[in-house]
Structure 1
Amino acid sequence: MTQLAIDVPENIFSTLRLPPAEFAREMRIAAAVQWYAEQRVSQEKAAEIAGQSRIEFIDELRRRRIPAIQLDLDELEAELNDG
C-alpha cells in the first residue's frame, strides 16, 4: 500500500476535535464518499479507498444522505427494459 503525507494546519485537529489518526480516517472516507457522489469511482472502489467493506460504505452513504444507487433516468429505463 502506498502512503501519502500531507501538510495540514496544526489547529485543524482541535477545530474538528479529532486526533490525527481519526482525522486521516475521516479524510479517506470523505474523499471516497465525494468521489462516489461525483460518479468518479465505483461503489466497490470507494469502499476500498475508505478502508471499509462495501456494506460499511453503503451505511456511510446512508448516514451522509448520499444515494447508494447512482442511475440517471436513461440508465434506469434501460435496466427496467432489460429485466
Structure 2
Amino acid sequence: MKTVQIELPDAVLLSLKETPEECSRELRMAAAAKLYELGKLSSGRAAELAGLSRISFLQALGRYGVFAFDLTTEELERDMRNA
C-alpha cells in the first residue's frame, strides 16, 4: 500500500472541527465518492480507498450527493470490468 500525504492548514482542521484522523477518513471517503461518480473507480475499488466494505460505501454515497445505482448500461458494464 502506498501513502499519500496532504498538507492542510491548521485553520482547515479548526473549521472542520475534526481531528487529523477524522479529516483523513473524510477526505478518503470524499475522494472515493467523487472518483466513483466520475467513473474512474469501480464501487469495489472506491470502497477500498474509503476503507469501507462495498455495501457501507454504497450506503454512504448519499451523503455526498452521489447516486449508487444511477448508471447507464455502459457505465455498469465498465464498473464491472474495473472491479
Identity %: 37
- Structure number with the bigger relative contact order (C-alpha 8 A, sep ≥ 6) is 2
Cα distance in structure 1, aligned partners of 2:5 and 2:70: 32
Cα distance in structure 2, aligned partners of 1:6 and 1:63: 23
Pairwise CA RMSD: 1.8
Cα distance in structure 1, aligned partners of 2:2 and 2:11: 26
TM-score, structure 1 length as denominator?
0.80
Where do 1:1-83 residues align within 5 Å?
A: 1-72=1-72, 75=73
Write out per-residue CA displacement over residues 22-67 of structure 1, whole angstroms, 9 at most, x where no aligned residue.
0011000000000001111100000001000001101111333311
Cα distance in structure 2, aligned partners of 1:63 and 1:23: 16
Q: Which runs of 4+ in 1 moved over 4 A?
A: none
SS at match of 2:25: helix
Show structure 1 runs of 5+ residues with no match: none
SS at match of 2:10: coil
Cα distance in structure 2, aligned partners of 1:47 and 1:13: 24
Show structure 2 runs of 5+ residues with no match: 78-83
Aligned length: 75
